[in-house]
Structure 1
Amino acid sequence: MADDNLAPHASNDLNMSYESVQTSGLGSSSTDDDATGFENEDHPTLSSADWKNELPNMCGGDNRKKNPRLSSSYSMDSVGDLKSDTVYSITKTATFSPSISSTIGTIRSDKKRLSRRTAGKQNTEMLWDNLTTLLSYIYAAFVVVFAAVVTVLRPHIYVGLHRIEINDVFFTTICFVGLAWLAFLHVDLSRLERRAVKERDREKRDTDIPMSDYVSEWSEDQGRPVTGYSYLTGRHSGSFYLKVGMTVFCCGHLIHEGLLLGKEVIGWMHGGEICADISLLVVHVVRPIFSFYQLYFLFKYSNIVINRWVVMAKFGIMHCFATTLSYWFRTIVDDAYGDVIKANKHQGPYWLPPAESERFSDQPDNLTNLSCATADLFSPAYLAPMQYLYPFTIEFDLLLAGVWFIVLQNLGKHGLKNSHKRYRSSEETTEKNLVISVDCHSANRGIFAGIVVLLASIVVMVVFYVTVLSEEHNHTGVIVYLVQEGVLLSLAFVASLLAYARIVVLDINSHPITILDDFLLCIPLPFYFLHGMLGVIANLQTGGSWARILLQIFSVIQVVVQTPLIIDGLRRCSNSHVLRYKKPGREVVSFLIVINITMWIVYTFERKMAVRFFMGIRYYGLHAWVFVEHTTIPLMLFYRFHSSVCLADMWKSAYEAE
């Protein structure tokens, strides 16, 4: 009776064992009767269904006698009685023939060897991945350091009568390398997209089942990564406002490069062989092309995830990253050298005290040669815009470096959750990025109050230029500048406190995407601190204005208050209907956006005109203070602009559901 009840259970378990062996290439495929114990005249090879039907009978007493190689033994012990139901502990043992047992052991050993082989392959891949990543970082560091050395020392060689600067040759070379990699990536991406479109169209004609194309991120049929390209979605795809800012800075950078190119061409035409600098001319031709190509590629593909040619992509991205940093440093040095030369000629925005004239009268050759093309060929109206355009170049290079860093972080990430699976979705993303839906609810008063401040600042800016350019009223112009700066800082400080007090009621976003914004916000902070401390020390040591000292300190305090506000606000959302309707703090955030844009405009166009009246040059000397100004001011300007970008993102996303 017990055996009859237990036979079905034995049937199921032994059937699984049989099917496992059959799946492994055993069972009916063998020609040796003794190898399986199931193939003879009395018991021919059975199918899986027949085996399930026959096994209960085979487990009976008679069948165990007919099949001595298959036996089952059972033991049953009563362990208790609960609510009139008897609970049994059943112990079952299935015994196979020695040949099947050895085969199963062989399968297990093969499985272990396969597992070890897979683990070894994974270790090799991980080693290669880490090694190439490290080498790409080392390569980028070498490019930046070498560029800095040749930019400062300016080694040169002569080819005939032409002087060739080594730094110009180097910068031209890295531009060509970057262009080559970008062109390769762009062509490969376009080729796969076209192939995907053709296959998708052919698939549509043949069947109604959608296909998974070459740019998909994951193959649903095979369950493994596809080597191609995919695209991030949502906030992962990057801020549209950041792309607009990158475009604005690129336009200023291209205008600056165009003026420099025109200066070199005209200087070469009118200055003769002594002013001919072919290498510099090539730099000013290649660099704008490379910059514009980077803008085009990143504006369209900033959300790309590269899963193809990954090793090459690592070095290519790090090359572009290092190139942007190298050009950032070169722009600072070149513009600073140019201002030093103009200051010694009693030109430019930097005032040179009489005591300093003799100190800098003997200029090194590498500084004097920079003024060759400038000479007297150009009117002040031609050269004047350059002092306002060079910060655009620095800010553009910094933005490029940040975006390339994010692309590097997504490199080779096959299974990203928020990525597109079809080529069509990448087109939709591009179209979606070009459409902006703006809800100005609870923001009107803040926007219009900011516009009033912006217009008033423009009027004050005109008054500042009229007074500061007059020898009789230049000190009045300085007072106008200080008052304007103090009012703007006070408004921004109060607005930051009010906004922080109101956004704390918003919900926390558990999946914020803010790494790029955090990076770009925190990079300028040390330069703010450096400029503030050096300015305070110079004014204290030379008996400068206390108003200027207080403004330097207040500027640092306002930045320290505003930065946590932005970083916290980017991690907020509104999951409740009440928050989405009331939108607490949105009016103040709107006001802060316009205030930061206003401060960026004011500092861009007024700062250099007012710097001659400050004490930095008197205390630190011309060379030191010019390099301090050219290093810190562009990043301080960038902080104001990027703060407005982050606040605009916060203005939209913090008042939406997560």
Structure 2
Amino acid sequence: APCQTHVSTGRSMSTDRDAGDLELDTVCGTPENPTSEPLQSSDHHQTHEQELDPVLLWVPSGRRLISGLVGLNVVLLGTALVIGENFNPEGLSHQEPEVFLLVLMGISLIWMFWYLLWARRHPDISPHRDHHAGGVPVILALLLFAAFSLLLFVFRVGYLMSTRECKPAATLISPFMEAPFLTLQTYLLWAHSKDCIHRHKIITRSGLMMILSTDLLLWLNAVTEDNIHVEIELGKRNGNSTCQCNASTACLAFRKGFEIFFPFNIEYYLMAGCLIYVMWKNVGRITGPDHHVTEKKTLYIVCTGGITLGLVFGGLVLAAGVTAFVLYQVYVSQPEFRLTAFFIFYGYHLVVMPIMSLCSLVGLIVQRLESRAREVGPNPSRRLDVVLLMAAALGQLALSYFSVVAALGIGTDGPLGELDLSYSLLSLLELILQNIFIIEGLHRHPHLSIKKKKKKKKQMSTPPTVQEQGATKPWAKRVRQEICAFLILSNIMLWLIPAFGVHPQFENGLGKEFFGFTTWFIMMNLGQPLSVFYRMHSVAALTELLISA
């Protein structure tokens, strides 16, 4: 009876646990107490039988320890190889980084084929599903990046074939291995990103960690390759390389397409790695019925929810952004108009970012006025959303702070310096306010509000009470939806501009003059991809806030 009471209490407190946490409950249900029934469903009974597999007696107690150690060692070794090739390419004469990545992609392909074929034969492989993982906006963005990445491979193969005389074999083979890896991973995430797998957990976690490690190393390798392309564009190389594109039109077209679509490949591996991480965290996870969320279509909400101001002003931001982007690309290639191009870039951002900051502040105030209860309980997807927002924002935050330090050290030195400093300060304000607004919104409970009791004279404080509320306040819902719609369109534009290669801070930032070209160049290429990913992830998070408003 004590064991039975313990089980029922545990289940009422939380139904969202890893199956391994229920081992003690299973022991309580031994034949010594045949009347106790700690598990009411056959799915749970099967889970306990699998968790007590004798093989688990020979592995460490941590359920994620083995796969975590495998991933850590693989990533560290791959990072050392990729960075070593970047700083001393002559020292690694046998293309060790490329060969290592090819081996990882091959192992990942074998595991994905095994899982997809095995999963079809075992429909009970995933008795639970995480409905917060792999939302519609995220999957659509992943498919978009995958499509552009596959198009990139076409241009990449054409470019490599045009310069095959001076390219190593591993580099020539890489696109033919990377394309199947990307395609199969996209299908895996599209079809199984919500799975909470309950069979062969050690193999499953190790396989997912291998894919995650491969994504991280391919992203790191892509960032270093992007460094080389920007160096070529800036003319910082000596120009004596024997491996240059010839004068043929086809080769030049392939290289141009390679450079245009390269940022999408970088974003793909960041997003795919995040979804794979959620799948890894969800292995063995048990979710209760309260975790099922009915997915609404954003387009339906926009059409029927009366959202007008956010769409109108957001559309103006998009239209102005496209115009500024086109003018920048036209003027920046002409020496006499380069200054005008930089004025257009900074002027657009100095107008848009204060408005975005004000909207985030108003949205935060509205959320505070509603006094919603916070959603509690383990949720890997929600925790990952917050971590990604904070981590991705570090890219632009770091660049902004370094620019501020450079301005303090050498001064602004003219209008471009003043514009760059203003841009950095406004970026700090906008990112901080938007992050607070999004994170607070993600943790709001959709149905519960907090109502504080009035303090009495003889009482120091009275704890707030959680009160059920059937519907949100109409005016608060309308304000939040309008703000989310505007911020979504604004973040899309702020994502498109750097994603297609508009980086004036590479050449005109205060940081280059203060820290030196090499240091600033490395910082920009590490910070800019994170900034692009932040905007894309903000769009997904704001879309979720719009749906749940």
Range of TM-score over shorter length:
0.7 to 0.9
1:647-658 correspondence runs (5 A): 647-653=542-548, 655=549
Counterpart of 1:605 in structure 2: which amino acid? F
Counterpart of 1:611 in structure 2: which amino acid? F
Q: Which residue of 2 aligns with 1:391?
A: 263
Query: Which secondary structure does the structure 1 equivalent of 2:430 belong to?
Result: helix
- Please report how far the alpha carbon of residue 184 of structure 1 lies from its aligned counterpart in structure 2 after TM superposition: 0.3
Write the distance in 2 (CA, Å) between the matches of 1:190 and 1:419. Answer: 27
- Please report how far the alpha carbon of residue 618 of structure 1 lies from its aligned counterpart in structure 2 after TM superposition: 3.4
Q: Which residue of 2 aligns with 1:501?
A: 365
**Residue 594 (structure 1) aligned with residue 524 (structure 2):** no
After superposition, what is the alpha-carbon deviation per residue over 1:285-309, rounded to whole angstroms, capped at 9, x for unaligned? 1112101211111111101111111
Q: Which residue of 2 aligns with 1:183?
A: 113
After superposition, what is the alpha-carbon deviation per residue over 1:176-198, rounded to whole angstroms, capped at 9, x for unaligned? 000000000000011224xxxxx
- Work out the number of aligned pairs and report it: 468
Write the distance in 2 (CA, Å) between the matches of 1:245 and 1:312. Answer: 29
Confirm or deny: 8 A CA contact 1:136 1:318 kept in the other structure: yes
**Residue 313 (structure 1) aligned with residue 196 (structure 2):** no
After superposition, what is the alpha-carbon deviation per residue over 1:482-532, rounded to whole angstroms, capped at 9, x for unaligned? 111111111111111111111221633535751231122121132222211
Question: CA 1:534–1:267 in 2, change beyond 3 Å: closer, same or farther?
Answer: same
Give the number of the structure whose alpha-carbon radius of gyration is greater: 1
1:304 to 189, 195, 214: 195
Write the distance in 2 (CA, Å) between the matches of 1:490 and 1:329. Answer: 33
- Please report how far the alpha carbon of residue 549 of structure 1 lies from its aligned counterpart in structure 2 after TM superposition: 1.1
- Please report how far the alpha carbon of residue 542 of structure 1 lies from its aligned counterpart in structure 2 after TM superposition: 4.1
Confirm or deny: 8 A CA contact 2:357 2:434 kept in the other structure: yes
Write the distance in 2 (CA, Å) between the matches of 1:305 and 1:286. Answer: 28
Write the distance in 1 (CA, Å) between the matches of 2:363 and 2:252. Answer: 44
Write the distance in 2 (CA, Å) between the matches of 1:457 and 1:318. Answer: 39
Q: Which residue of 1 aligns with 2:301?
A: 439
Q: Which residue of 2 aligns with 1:83?
A: none
After superposition, what is the alpha-carbon deviation per residue over 1:206-229, rounded to whole angstroms, capped at 9, x for unaligned? xxxxxxxxx1xxxxxxxxxxxx32
Confirm or deny: 8 A CA contact 1:442 1:587 kept in the other structure: no
Query: Which secondary structure does the structure 2 equivalent of 1:406 belong to?
Result: helix
- Please report how far the alpha carbon of residue 150 of structure 1 lies from its aligned counterpart in structure 2 after TM superposition: 1.7
- Please report how far the alpha carbon of residue 606 of structure 1 lies from its aligned counterpart in structure 2 after TM superposition: 5.6
Q: Which residue of 2 aligns with 1:617?
A: 512
After superposition, what is the alpha-carbon deviation per residue over 1:564-615, rounded to whole angstroms, capped at 9, x for unaligned? 1101111224534552644142211211111111111123236335632334
After superposition, what is the alpha-carbon deviation per residue over 1:414-442, rounded to whole angstroms, capped at 9, x for unaligned? x432499xxxx9xxx9xx97966622314
Counterpart of 2:209 in structure 1: which amino acid? M
Confirm or deny: 8 A CA contact 1:231 1:237 kept in the other structure: no
Q: Which residue of 2 aligns with 1:219?
A: none
Query: Which secondary structure does the structure 1 equivalent of 2:288 belong to?
Result: coil
- Please report how far the alpha carbon of residue 555 of structure 1 lies from its aligned counterpart in structure 2 after TM superposition: 0.3
- Please report how far the alpha carbon of residue 477 of structure 1 lies from its aligned counterpart in structure 2 after TM superposition: 1.3
Structure 2: stretches of 5+ with no match in the other structure? 1-30, 34-48, 448-468
Query: Which secondary structure does the structure 2 equivalent of 1:585 belong to?
Result: helix
Write the distance in 1 (CA, Å) between the matches of 2:446 and 2:212. Answer: 36
Query: Which secondary structure does the structure 2 equivalent of 1:508 belong to?
Result: strand
Query: Which secondary structure does the structure 2 equivalent of 1:579 belong to?
Result: coil
Counterpart of 1:416 in structure 2: which amino acid? T
Q: Which residue of 1 aligns with 2:97?
A: 167
- Please report how far the alpha carbon of residue 464 of structure 1 lies from its aligned counterpart in structure 2 after TM superposition: 2.1
Write the distance in 2 (CA, Å) between the matches of 1:628 and 1:563. Answer: 22
Pairwise CA RMSD: 3.3
Query: Which secondary structure does the structure 2 equivalent of 1:439 belong to?
Result: helix
Question: CA 1:455–1:642 in 2, change beyond 3 Å: closer, same or farther?
Answer: same
Q: Which residue of 2 aligns with 1:411?
A: 283
1:265 to 140, 145, 161: 161
1:94-133 correspondence runs (5 A): 125=56, 128=59, 130=61, 133=64
1:245 to 138, 141, 145: 141
Write the distance in 1 (CA, Å) between the matches of 2:471 and 2:347. Answer: 41
Confirm or deny: 8 A CA contact 2:246 2:252 kept in the other structure: no
After superposition, what is the alpha-carbon deviation per residue over 1:327-383, rounded to whole angstroms, capped at 9, x for unaligned? 11111112213333x1xxxxx1x365xxxxxxx7599xxxx5xx7153555665543
Query: Which secondary structure does the structure 2 equivalent of 1:411 belong to?
Result: coil
Q: Which moved more, 1:633-642 or 1:508-517?
A: 508-517
Write the distance in 1 (CA, Å) between the matches of 2:407 and 2:492. Answer: 28
1:630 to 525, 537, 541: 525
Question: CA 1:525–1:191 in 2, change beyond 3 Å: closer, same or farther?
Answer: same
Query: Which secondary structure does the structure 2 equivalent of 1:374 belong to?
Result: coil
Question: CA 1:598–1:362 in 2, change beyond 3 Å: closer, same or farther?
Answer: closer
**Residue 459 (structure 1) aligned with residue 327 (structure 2):** no
Confirm or deny: 8 A CA contact 2:264 2:499 kept in the other structure: no
Write the distance in 1 (CA, Å) between the matches of 2:354 and 2:470. Answer: 34
Q: Which residue of 2 aligns with 1:338?
A: 229
**Residue 323 (structure 1) aligned with residue 225 (structure 2):** no
Counterpart of 2:126 in structure 1: which amino acid? Y
Q: Which moved more, 1:182-191 or 1:140-149?
A: 140-149
Confirm or deny: 8 A CA contact 1:231 1:419 kept in the other structure: no
Counterpart of 2:375 in structure 1: which amino acid? S
Q: Which residue of 2 aligns with 1:49?
A: none
Q: Which residue of 1 aligns with 2:314?
A: 450
Q: Which residue of 1 aligns with 2:243?
A: 372
- Please report how far the alpha carbon of residue 131 of structure 1 lies from its aligned counterpart in structure 2 after TM superposition: 5.4
Percent identical pairs in the alignment equals 19
Write the distance in 1 (CA, Å) between the matches of 2:446 and 2:197. Answer: 33
Structure 1: stretches of 5+ with no match in the other structure? 1-109, 113-117, 194-214, 216-227, 343-347, 353-359
Q: Which residue of 1 aligns with 2:435?
A: 563
Confirm or deny: 8 A CA contact 2:133 2:275 kept in the other structure: no
- Please report how far the alpha carbon of residue 267 of structure 1 lies from its aligned counterpart in structure 2 after TM superposition: 1.6
Q: Which residue of 2 aligns with 1:197?
A: none
